[in-house]
Structure formats: C-alpha cells, structure tokens
C-alpha cells in the first residue's frame, strides 16, 4: 500500500529544517546501510546521533502525532527516529529492500521495519531526477512530492532513487513498526477507516450503518493487532 500524505510539515517547519540542515555536517550515507543496500547507496546523510538530527527528528515526530492520516495508514507501534539524506548531482540509490530489523539508537530495543517513509524537504522545481521509484503490487510508481509532503510504502518493496541531474534533493526517511505487520491487513483497515470517515460525514454517528462499520473495524483491529 502506497499512501501520499500532504503537508505533514508546515512551510515554516520545512524552512526551519532546511536552515538547520544547511549548517549540518554531511557524511557518507552508507553508514546506516546494510551489506546489500550499502553497495547500491551513493548519497550523503546527517549523522543520526548529531544534535541537528535529534532536533529535527523531534519536529517530525510531533508532526506525525498530529496527522490522522499517518495514524490510520501506518497504525504505528514504534517509529524509528527520523534520519536525513541528501542527493547532489550524480548521486543515486540503486534498487534495494530496506533492512527488516533496526536497533533503536540509545536503547536495547529492536524495531521491525513494516512501513518505510520518505518526507520531502526540497521543492521538486529545485532539482531534476531524484524520483523515488517503488515497485509494489500495483506496479512501478514514481514519486516526487512537494516539500513537506510524505509517502508511505511497505518496507518489503523494492525501491530506488533515480540519479539527480540538477540541483540537490533533501529528505527525511524513517521506518515504522506497525501494530498490524501484514500489509494486506493494513490496507484493508486503512480503506475501511476512510470509508467510515466518509460515511460519518453524511450520516449521524448513531446511525446503524456507522455503528456496524465502526464495530467491524475495531473487531478486525483487535484480531490482527500485535503489541
């Protein structure tokens, strides 16, 4: 399931993130890659333990907390602290699949990467190339979103970043361990929740149809959720 979420960050938050990142020290992006993806990766990254990464990561986590579409699409249990990368001219990330398990920094805890996220920080008119290309059950999809917008997709998906040919592409990326690890089940719950929202806009909350759909949603969630 691929979900585009508009305006996760406000224009002011995007501008602040860009300002902080302009002062950051960028290093080889392979520092967070696994063995397979490290061979495919050619970009720059802000060290995940840097003050800038922690500050901006907190801004993004707060933004996710106020975004109902992220909650209904990802059903988050744990979110890996957001990371930040940069693709200058000639940089790319060849086709790969994200690591299944990540260690949470500073904690003796692991996270299963069910959902991958890319939050764009650069307006598309500022660079050429750099599309995020995702292969999912509906075929190959190319994603290049306005600054502040985000895309969610299954971490099991084969994906790549096309070479940048002009300008520079900056983004944040991170993973979510969902309460529902199966992508097909998450897709069904997501579509059902959206249908409930649309129905509630036309019918009172105590309408039998609304009550029935809501009960079915929560009973499926209760059956599939893992805590």
Mean pLDDT by 10 residues, the chain (227 residues): 96 98 92 65 93 97 97 97 97 94 87 97 98 89 97 96 98 98 96 95 91 96 95
Distance CA 20, CA 82 (A): 15
Tell me, rounded to whole angstroms, the distance of Cα 64 from its chain centroid.
10
- Asked whether residue 123 falls in the same domain as residue 219, the answer is no
- Asked whether residue 45 falls in the same domain as residue 157, the answer is yes
* pLDDT (tens digit per residue) in 141-165: 999 999 999 999 999 999 999 999 9
Domain boundary among 162, 178, 194: 178
Owner of token pair 């938050």:
13
- Asked whether residue 188 falls in the same domain as residue 81, the answer is no
- Asked whether residue 196 falls in the same domain as residue 112, the answer is no
Which range of residues forms the domain containing residue 28?
Answer: 3-178
Residue 159: its pLDDT value, please? Answer: 96
218 assigned to a ligand binding site:
no
Residue 188 neighbours by CB distance under 10 Å = 16
- Asked whether residue 214 falls in the same domain as residue 171, the answer is no
Residue 122: its pLDDT value, please? Answer: 98
Is 0.85 surpassed by the pTM of this model? yes
Alpha helices (runs of H) in 77-138, residue ranges in sequence order:
none
Spatial contact of 156 and 136, defined as CB atoms under 8 Å apart:
no
Rg of the Cα trace of the chain?
18
- Asked whether residue 24 falls in the same domain as residue 81, the answer is yes
- Asked whether residue 201 falls in the same domain as residue 102, the answer is no
Residue 179: its pLDDT value, please? Answer: 98
- Asked whether residue 90 falls in the same domain as residue 188, the answer is no
Spatial contact of 137 and 106, defined as CB atoms under 8 Å apart:
no
169 assigned to a ligand binding site:
yes
- Asked whether residue 38 falls in the same domain as residue 102, the answer is yes
- Asked whether residue 208 falls in the same domain as residue 163, the answer is no
Split into its structural domains, the chain has a count of: 2
CATH of the domain at 33: 2.60.120.620
Cβ partners under 8 Å of residue 21, min gap 6: 46, 52, 56, 84, 86, 121, 170
Spatial contact of 56 and 21, defined as CB atoms under 8 Å apart:
yes
Strand intervals (E) in the chain: 3-5, 27-28, 41-42, 44-45, 76-79, 83-87, 92-96, 101-103, 110-112, 115-120, 127-129, 132-136, 139-143, 150-154, 158-161, 164-167, 169-178
Residue 34: its pLDDT value, please? Answer: 58
- Asked whether residue 95 falls in the same domain as residue 133, the answer is yes
CATH of the domain at 189: 4.10.860
Residue 170: its pLDDT value, please? Answer: 98
- Asked whether residue 124 falls in the same domain as residue 37, the answer is yes
């Amino acid at each position: 399931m691929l979900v585009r979420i508009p305006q996760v960050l406000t224009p002011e938050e995007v501008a602040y993130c860009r300002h902080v990142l302009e002062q950051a020290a960028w290093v080889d992006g392979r520092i967070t890659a696994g063995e397979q993806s490290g061979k495919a990766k050619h970009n720059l990254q802000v060290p995940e333990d840097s003050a800038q990464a922690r500050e901006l990561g907190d801004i993004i986590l707060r933004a996710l907390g106020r975004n109902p579409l992220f909650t209904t699409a990802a059903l988050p249990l744990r979110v890996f602290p957001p990371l930040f990368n940069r693709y200058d001219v000639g940089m790319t990330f060849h086709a790969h699949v994200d690591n299944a398990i990540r260690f949470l920094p500073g904690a003796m805890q692991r996270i299963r990467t069910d959902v991958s996220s890319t939050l764009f920080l650069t307006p598309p008119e500022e660079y050429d190339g750099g599309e995020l290309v995702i292969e999912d059950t509906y075929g190959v999809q190319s994603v290049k979103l306005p600054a502040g917008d985000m895309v969610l997709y299954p971490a099991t998906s084969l994906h790549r970043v096309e070479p940048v040919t002009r300008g520079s592409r900056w983004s944040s990326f991170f993973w979510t361990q969902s309460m529902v690890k199966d992508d097909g089940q998450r897709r069904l719950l997501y579509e059902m929740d959206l249908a409930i929202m649309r129905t509630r806009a036309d019918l009172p909350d105590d309408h039998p149809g609304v009550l029935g759909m809501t009960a079915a949603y929560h009973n499926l969630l209760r059956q599939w959720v893992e805590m």
